[in-house]
Amino acid sequence: MHFRCYRFFNDPSNFLTADSYCRMYGYTLASIHSMFENNFIQKQAGLSLSMTYQSFFIGLYSSSMKTENYNWTWTDETPYDFWNWLSGDPTGTKWCAAMRISDGKWHNVPCESKLPFVCSAPPGNPGNVTTNPPPTTQPRTTTTPRPLITTTEKHNCPRNWGFFPTTYDCYLLKPYYTLNNPDNQYCNGTIRSIEENGYVRDFAAGFFAGLQVCFTGSTDNEMYLIGEAGIIGLI
C-alpha cells in the first residue's frame, strides 16, 4: 500500500515553481501508483481546488523531452508503474502531466502552464525530501491545454456538502461529534447499498485529507460515525 499525505494548492504555478513550492514543505509533487490513489486524488481535488481550473499538475514529467520516447518520470523518483492517460495523450511537445478534475484522466501540458497542483509525502512529519529535480529547461512551445468539458448533475446541496446522484441525497461530514448538540438532531446517516457505502467512504477520505489527516488503516481514530452515537456507546 502506498500511504501518502496530500496537500492541494490553488495558487496557479508552472511546473518548476509548483515542485519547488512542494519541497519548501518537505513534499514533492504527487506521484500516483494505483487507480485507488488516482480516484482519491481526483475526488479530493474536486473538494479542494477552485472551479476556475479544470486540471492540476501532478509530479510527472518527460525526462527525455522527445516525442518518440517521453520517458515519463515522477519527481519523487518512484517507479512509473501506473498511468491513466486521456485517450490520444500524451501527444506533441508538451513535457509535463496534469490530471483533469472532472474524471481523473491525465493529459500532457506545457510545463510553463500555470495550474493548481498537489503535493504529497509519507505520513507523519515529511522532513526534507531529497529527490532529483524536474528538468531545468522549459520547452519552447505555443501549444495551450485543450479546452475540457465538464458536466455535473444539478442539485440543491449546500456548499461543502457531498452529493450522490444514485440516492439524490446530500452528505455532510464534521471533524467531531458532540452528544446532545441540537445541531445534530437531524444528522442521522444511513447507508443502504454497497454503492452508497463506497461513495461515503471516498467522501470521508477526501474530507479528512482536507484536514491534513492521513489514512493508513492502523488506528481507530481513522473511523467515522454514522447513525446515532449512543448506539455504539460513545459517551
Calculate mean pLDDT across residues 183-205. 70
Q: Is the peptide bond before 122 cis (omega within 30 degrees of 0)?
A: no
Which pLDDT score, from 0 to 100, does residue 54 have?
94
Phi, psi (deg, nearest 5) at residue 225: -100, 135
Tally of residues, the chain:
235
Mean predicted confidence (pLDDT) in 63-86:
94
Tens digits of residue pLDDT in 105-146 = 999 999 999 999 999 988 764 443 333 444 444 433 333 333
Q: What is the CATH number of domain 4-121?
A: 3.10.100.10
Distance CA 29, CA 11 (A): 14
On whether the CB atoms of residues 202 and 38 are closer than 8 A, the answer is: no
Residue 83, pLDDT > 60, answer yes
Q: Indicate the range of 30-34, 143-147, 150-154, 215-219 predicted with least confidence.
A: 143-147
Binned at pLDDT 50, 70 and 90, residue 4 comes out as confident
Identify the pLDDT of residue 214.
Answer: 52
Cell numbers for 34, please give them: 494505483
Q: Which residue has the higher pLDDT, 22 or 207?
A: 22
Q: Give the residue from 147, 149, 170 showing the smallest Cα distance to 159.
A: 170
Tell me 138's DSSP state: P
Which phi and psi angles does 72 have, rounded to 5°? -65, 135
Residue 150: what pLDDT?
32
DSSP conformation class of 230: G
163-176 pLDDT per residue, tens: 777 777 787 776 55
Residue 147's pLDDT is 33
235 vs 213: CA distance, rounded Å:
24
Confidence label for 95 from pLDDT (cuts 50, 70 and 90): very high
Long-range Cβ contacts of 167-174 (<8 Å, 24+ apart):
167/192, 167/196, 171/199, 171/200, 171/203, 173/203, 173/204, 173/207, 173/208, 173/224
What pairs with residue 13 in β-bridges? 115
Domain positions in the chain are 4-121, 162-232
Q: What does the alpha-carbon distance between residue 194 and residue 21 come to, in Å, rounded to a whole number?
A: 40
Cβ count within 10 A of residue 101? 22
